């Protein structure tokens, strides 16, 4: 029997137009926690989907306990003892915890095919207890917190007698304390001989848990190291592929007076006591872990999900923003996180997408003026250098980076002065990223105030003039460009001390 429980050799996966994985290798030992790291779009998700049988590779081989295997569907992988816990919990909110745990492998009486509820509830309870949780297996899944749901998913994985468990960003939506619970469970599983593939953006997770780390970059395999063999800096170089300074253009913006000011903004259950300002020509970075409330703050400012408390000032004037249109009228533009669901109309062409927010401007008393629209759309699309043949190309036919450029062009049609960018480079390749950074810098140089939300440390460090770090719905600290380092930001974002009910500003 092989030393490795799971071994992948030369895996290549192509989707129409994209190489999602290019000759990737991976080796997993029994009882090992193995971190899989890489930037967004590096191919981690596709890689997992290969292992769990959702996709089958175009090239390459997979060995399980030294034996060659091929998975054609998720069921095949489940039968072989591979289970995955995804970042966005994929469960049945209306069904009970027990049913969620046993979905697909219910216990039935061999003769009558009757479901054995008592046995299943009992086993569910004991599985959960093993994981140190007192969740009642009879409650509905939907009534549990995300952290509890994650524990149930793990219980489900154990109940299928999984020997390999894949955790895809399991801590992304958890608080520091909940993450700690999860770490303990992962360690316990490891001690029981289960192998775990742990995917995370957080270096903290990796150092805390993993013994081995494999890095992917731009769909390629970069190497695999023992955690103590590789330094933080080396790891970043492997993940990003170049020194941070190379990706980011030189800055040439001039910071002027404040245009947007937020005072004590709060929304029940999401964030509280948020105060900051954005000045003309300034790029303010807003960062923190996923789930820290960054997107919610942005959406409150933009009127998508208005805040319950607090005040918003624009150029010193107090304003009320109840819907996105209000925000746009006050000169605030928002680039949403999910460009396909929230930003663009994929079935429309480039031109119509660009002019959608400001149709009023290019029409006469409600009548459309297609010629004028086309001229404006062409101008703006070229300004952000969208790569396409004509403005009548459908947005769905563009690459992620070009779609994002169209989203940015949309913002520029309206008379905005403050631009809020929520994860502007999510899922775009490095080249397009660099172009988007250039655009962001240009915007700041032209005097726009930019609020940049990002989980990507290099992006925040490379672009921002000032960095606000959020943690569990509150501002943990604000750092100037000079004081900010990766370590300081991470420390503030995850700091083991829970923030008190007040704004904490770390003095230097």
Partner 1 sequence: MNNKSLAEENYLPNNLANKKEFSLKSFFLQWEWLLILILFLVFIINSILSPYFLDANSLLGATSTFLDKAFIVFPMALIMIMRDIDISVGSTVALSGVVMATVYNSFGFPMEIAILVCLAVGALCGLINGLLIVKFKELSAVIVTLGTMILFRGIAYIILEDQASGNFPDWFNYFGWGTAGNIPFILIAFIIVAIVFTLLLHKTTFGRNVYAIGSNPTASRFSGVSVDKIRVIVFVLAGVMAAVTAIFLASRMGSTRPNVASGYELEVITMAALGGISTVGGKGRMLGTILAVFIIGFLQYGLGLINIPSQTLLIIIGALLILAVATPKLKLPKFLLRK
Partner 2 sequence: MNEHVIQQTDNIEKHTLSNKLLANISKFRELGLIVFIVILCAFIQWRNSSFLTIENINDMITNAAILSILAVGMMLVLVTRGIDLSIGAIIALSGMICAQLVSQFSLNPLLIILIGIVIGIVCGVLNGVLIAKIGILPIIATLALMNVFRGLTYRISNGEWVSSYQMTDSFLSIATGKVFGINNLIVIAIVIYIIFYYVINHTVIGRQIYAVGSNPESAKVSGINENKILILVYSTLGGLSGLAGVLWVSKFASAQGDTATGYELTVIAVCILGGVSIAGGAGKVSGVLLGALLLGILQNALPLLNVSPFWQTGIQGAIILIAVILNTLVKRSVDRNNLVRRKI
Which residues make up the interface to partner 1 (CB under 8 A)? 242, 245-250, 302, 304, 323-325, 327-328, 334, 336, 341-348, 350-352, 356-357, 359-360, 363, 366-368, 374-375, 377-378, 381-382, 385-392, 401, 410, 414, 430-432, 434-435, 437-439
Task: Tell whether residue 176 is a contact of partner 2 (CB under 8 A).
Answer: no
Partner in contact with 104, chosen from partner 2, partner 1, none, beta carbon below 5 to 8 Å by kind: partner 2
Residue 352 Cβ, how far from partner 1 at the closest point, in Å?
8
User: Rounded to whole angstroms, how far apart are CA atoms 263 and 271?
Assistant: 13
Q: From the list 1, 111, 268, 508, which residue makes contact with partner 2 (rule: CB under 8 A)?
A: 268
Sheet of 317-319: strand order equals 271-279, 258-267, 309-314, 317-319
Partner in contact with 347, chosen from partner 2, partner 1, none, beta carbon below 5 to 8 Å by kind: partner 1
The alpha carbon of residue 129 and the mean position of all alpha carbons in its chain are separated, in whole angstroms, by 31
User: Rounded to whole angstroms, how far apart are CA atoms 14 and 33?
Assistant: 28
Residue 154 Cβ, how far from partner 1 at the closest point, in Å?
31
Residue 92 Cβ, how far from partner 2 at the closest point, in Å?
4
In b/e form, how buried is each residue of 132-141, taking b as 16+ CB within 10 angstroms?
ebebebeeeb
Partner in contact with 285, chosen from partner 1, partner 2, none, beta carbon below 5 to 8 Å by kind: none
134-163 residues in contact with partner 2 (CB under 8 A) are 134-136, 138-140, 143-145, 148
176 versus 247: smaller Cβ distance to partner 1: 247
User: Rounded to whole angstroms, how far apart are CA atoms 184 and 131?
Assistant: 9
User: Rounded to whole angstroms, how far apart are CA atoms 283 and 267?
Assistant: 25
DSSP per-residue string spanning 128-185: HHHTT----TTSBGGGS-HHHHHHHHHHHHHHTT-SEEEEESTTTTS-HHHHHHHHHH
User: Rounded to whole angstroms, how far apart are CA atoms 3 and 364?
Assistant: 73
SS3 373: helix
Query: Do residues 275 and 263 lie in contact, with contact meaning Cβ atoms separated by under 8 Å?
Result: yes
52-71 residues in contact with partner 2 (CB under 8 A) are 54
93-122 residues in contact with partner 2 (CB under 8 A) are 93-95, 99, 103-104, 106, 108, 113-115, 117
Sheet of 67-69: strand order equals 67-69, 59-64, 4-15, 18-29, 220-226, 212-217, 33-37, 195-199, 164-168, 82-85
Partner in contact with 75, chosen from partner 1, partner 2, none, beta carbon below 5 to 8 Å by kind: partner 2
Show the DSSP H helices in 241-322 as ranges.
244-247, 294-301
Residue 127 Cβ, how far from partner 1 at the closest point, in Å?
33
**How many residues of this chain bind partner 2 (CB under 8 A)?**
41
Residue 472 Cβ, how far from partner 1 at the closest point, in Å?
26
113 versus 322: smaller Cβ distance to partner 2: 113
Task: Tell whether residue 92 is a contact of partner 2 (CB under 8 A).
Answer: yes
133 versus 159: smaller Cβ distance to partner 2: 133
User: Rounded to whole angstroms, how far apart are CA atoms 225 and 492?
Assistant: 28
Partner in contact with 47, chosen from partner 2, partner 1, none, beta carbon below 5 to 8 Å by kind: none
Partner in contact with 94, chosen from partner 1, partner 2, none, beta carbon below 5 to 8 Å by kind: partner 2
Query: How many other C-beta atoms can be found within 10 angstroms of the C-beta atom of residue 55?
Result: 18
User: Rounded to whole angstroms, how far apart are CA atoms 318 and 322?
Assistant: 13
Partner in contact with 138, chosen from partner 2, partner 1, none, beta carbon below 5 to 8 Å by kind: partner 2
10 versus 324: smaller Cβ distance to partner 1: 324
Q: Determine how β-strand 164-168 pairs with β-strand 195-199.
A: parallel
Look-up: residue for tokens 């300004």? 383
Which chain residues interact with partner 2 by CB under 8 A? 54, 73-75, 78, 90-95, 99, 103-104, 106, 108, 113-115, 117, 133-136, 138-140, 143-145, 148, 177, 268-272, 293, 472-474
């Amino acid at each position: 029997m092989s030393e490795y429980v799971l071994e992948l050799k030369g895996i290549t996966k192509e989707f129409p137009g994209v190489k999602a994985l290019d000759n990737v290798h991976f080796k997993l030992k029994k009882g090992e926690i193995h971190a899989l790291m890489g930037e967004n779009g590096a191919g981690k998700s596709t890689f997992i989907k290969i292992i769990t049988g959702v996709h089958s590779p175009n090239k390459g081989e997979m060995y399980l306990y030294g034996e060659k295997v091929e998975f054609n569907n998720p069921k095949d992988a489940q039968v072989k003892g591979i289970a995955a816990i995804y970042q966005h919990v994929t469960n049945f909110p209306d069904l009970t915890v027990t049913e969620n745990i046993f979905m697909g492998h219910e216990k039935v009486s061999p003769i009558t095919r009757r479901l054995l509820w008592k046995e299943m509830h009992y086993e569910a309870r004991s599985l959960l207890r093993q994981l140190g949780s007192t969740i009642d297996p009879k409650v509905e899944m939907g009534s549990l917190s995300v952290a509890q749901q994650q524990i149930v998913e793990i219980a489900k994985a154990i109940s299928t007698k999984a020997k390999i468990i894949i955790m895809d960003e399991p801590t992304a939506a958890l608080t520091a304390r909940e993450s700690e619970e999860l770490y303990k469970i992962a360690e316990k599983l490891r001690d029981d001989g289960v192998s775990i593939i742990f995917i995370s953006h957080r270096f903290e997770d990796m150092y805390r848990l993993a013994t081995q780390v494999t890095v992917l970059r731009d769909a390629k395999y970069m190497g695999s190291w023992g955690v103590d063999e590789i330094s933080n800096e080396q790891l970043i170089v492997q993940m990003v592929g170049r020194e941070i300074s190379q990706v980011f253009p030189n800055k040439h913006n001039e910071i002027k007076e404040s245009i947007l000011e937020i005072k004590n903004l709060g929304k029940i259950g999401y964030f509280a006591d948020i105060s900051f300002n954005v000045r003309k020509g300034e790029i303010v970075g807003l960062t923190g872990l996923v789930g820290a409330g960054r997107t919610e703050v942005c959406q409150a400012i933009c009127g998508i999900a208005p805040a319950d408390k607090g005040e918003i000032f624009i150029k010193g004037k107090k304003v009320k923003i109840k819907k996105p249109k209000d925000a746009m009228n006050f000169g605030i533009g928002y680039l949403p996180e999910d460009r396909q669901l929230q930003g663009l109309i994929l079935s429309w062409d480039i031109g119509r997408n660009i002019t959608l927010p400001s149709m009023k401007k290019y029409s006469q008393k409600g009548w459309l003026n297609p010629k004028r629209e086309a001229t404006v759309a062409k101008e703006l699309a070229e300004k952000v250098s969208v790569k396409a043949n004509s403005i009548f190309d459908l947005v769905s036919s563009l690459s992620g980076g070009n779609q994002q450029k169209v989203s940015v062009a949309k913002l520029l049609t309206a008379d905005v002065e403050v631009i809020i960018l929520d994860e502007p480079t999510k899922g775009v390749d490095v080249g397009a990223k660099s172009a988007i950074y250039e655009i962001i810098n240009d915007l700041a140089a032209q005097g726009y105030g930019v609020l940049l939300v990002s989980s990507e440390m290099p992006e925040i460090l490379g672009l921002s003039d000032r960095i606000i770090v959020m943690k569990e719905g509150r501002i943990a600290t604000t750092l100037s460009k000079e004081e900010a380092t990766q370590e300081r930001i991470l420390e503030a974002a995850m700091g083991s001390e829970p923030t008190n009910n007040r704004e904490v500003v770390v003095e230097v």
